[in-house]
Structure 1
């Protein structure tokens, strides 16, 4: 502790030559961290992270590095170091930092260590191996977190692209716009079934006038959605089948005879009204 206090009082002086890597990390950590932060600023490796957070994370990481270097050599990173690297990588991913910047945050420690312990070749070799393992682990954690973020955003976009709208008491409307692939079809089915259960609706009008093309796969997705809704006690009406799409469906041999279809959304709603015993009259 005396060595630490003495260094803190004269932090402006350079680290004496001949120090080992472990001495630098344990006894001259303040100078090491200051040099590291300068290096990170020069390389803009943490430009998207608040300066105070970078200082805190780098300090905690140096503590873990000191512990790892003091322990017997091992091919596996300590659990506490892995947890910290995972948290740092997740923070970088969530704040939009690039993979290169995330890697630089870890690997730049090599350079500043080498400047402060240039004569400890054996110690630098051990430190390099440790930092390499840290960098690889950080990249894996960064990519995993970024994939989680992308997946969550994709799900949110799917939710926004599948609006289930109540048209009338007991009647839901599901306008489908764009290509209907497997992932989107599953989202549509799940959203529709959820709303049917929540509202106890008896009818759902699925309007496909915004679907550019209908092929065999699209028809199968629609048929499965209709079948699932039927199991929930709701009848589906497919509307918006344009003449060109009708011709393509006939050419491809797509059979929707088991599904109620209407040309327009208005006709589909009229069908549902009729099944509910409702009529629409003009006011005089």
Structure 2
């Protein structure tokens, strides 16, 4: 079956390597996840593919996202790099192919790499296409270039310490889904007294509250975890209903704390 939308939560695989990546993906699928996020830069596509194929879950029921690294954005490279990703993932297509980062300093014109990505989609290498780490201005430019071709998502960093409201609001106003990576702020949410207090009220962990807060904003969270109990808790977090007061207090944690901020990042909103 072809997915017409992103599943409501996924497992992120950044920094997961070897058997750890393979086992985390297989476990996640056994618990009910159906959305697996990887990237060329993570150097774990082969293990992610192993986890999916060994899970026993039919390929058509698993939504696979991979992201094309900026070294492969030239028209001559993009298609071949995506085909190599498919070989590693042991599939003939991904459900979603993203541009991982805008080309640093516009070394490769956006028109070139987005049209190459569009061509790859038309060829059947990806059911959907999208972007990651794009600013509001870059997203507007991308929409203009792609015309009638939908952008399924803009994948950006979102957690209680970086609400990223300007970008989130702009993306959602355009009818595009926001995927939120690092929703747990690489574990820092566990130390926030506000989240600890709300977690006690619900009998859950601060991590679950953070994921529930992200999901309450209509954002698809893709937390990363390797332990079965954490994977299950992250999935269960979608069932938590936070009160307006709880949401408002979590909103106050926003301090613009950006974790993924490499030197080649765009000029953020």
Shared fold (TM-score greater than 0.5)?
no
Greater share of helix:
1
Considering Cα pairs closer than 8 Å and 6+ residues apart, tell me whether 1 or 2 has the greater RCO: 2
TM-score (ref. length: structure 2): 0.32
Greater radius of gyration (CA): 1
TM-score (ref. length: structure 1): 0.31
